Amino acid sequence: MSNVTPVVVAVLIGELIPAAAFAFAGERVARTVGRWPVAAKILAPALLASVYTAIATATNIFRWSWFGLYLVLPLLMSWLLLRASEVDPGQRGTWYDALILLVLGLAVDLRWFDAAWPHGQEAFGKILLVDAGLYGFLAIRNLSGAGFDFRLQWSDWKTGLRELVFFAPVVIALGMALGFIHPHAATPTLRSALLRWIGIFVFVAIPEELFFRAWVQNLLERRLGRSYALIVASLLFGLSHFNKRSAHFNWRYVLLAAIAGIFYGRAWRDSRRVPASTITHTCVDWLWSWWF
Regarding whether 195 and 113 lie in a shared domain, the answer is: no
**Number of domains the chain is built from:** 2
Residue at 147 is within a domain: no
Same domain for 262 and 162: yes
Is residue 17 one of the residues assigned to a domain? yes
Q: Following DSSP, what letter does each residue of 75-129 receive, concatenated?
A: HHHHHHHHHHHHH-TT----HHHHHHHHHHHHHHHTTTTGGGS-TT-THHHHHHH
Task: Enter the pTM of the model.
Answer: 0.95
> pLDDT digits over 31-77, tens only?
999 999 999 999 999 999 999 999 999 999 999 999 999 999 999 99
Among the candidates 140, 162, 187, a domain finishes at 140
180 plus 52 within the same structural domain: no
145 part of a folded domain:
no
**Cβ proximity of 160 and 276 under 8 Å:** yes
Same domain, 129 and 171: no
Tell whether 262 is covered by a domain: yes
Do 92 and 200 lie in one domain? The reply is no
pLDDT of residue 182: 84
Residues 134 and 168 reside in one and the same domain: no
Read off the pLDDT of each residue in 152-156 and give the average, rounded to a whole number. Answer: 97
| 25 and 68 both lie in a single domain | yes
Residue 232 pLDDT more than 90? yes
User: pLDDT class for 1, splitting at 50, 70, 90?
Assistant: low
Cα–Cα nearest to 261, from 288, 278, 280, 238: 238
- Quote the mean pLDDT of the chain: 95
Q: Do residues 55 and 7 touch, judged by C-beta distance below 8 A?
A: yes
Q: What was the pLDDT predicted at 290?
A: 86
- Percent with pLDDT over 90 in the chain: 91
171 in Cβ contact with 256 (< 8 Å): yes
Residue 286 has pLDDT above 80, yes or no: yes
Residues 230, 231, 233: CA angle, nearest 5 degrees: 65
Segment 16-32, tens digit of pLDDT: 999 999 999 999 999 99
- The reply to whether 149 falls in a domain is no
Domain termination site, one of 98, 116, 140? 140
| Domain assignment of residue 211, given as a range | 154-291
Residue 114 lies in a domain: yes
Provide the pLDDT for residue 116: 97
Whether residue 178 sits in one domain with residue 111:
no
Q: On the CB side of 198, how many CA atoms lie within 13 Å of its CA?
A: 6
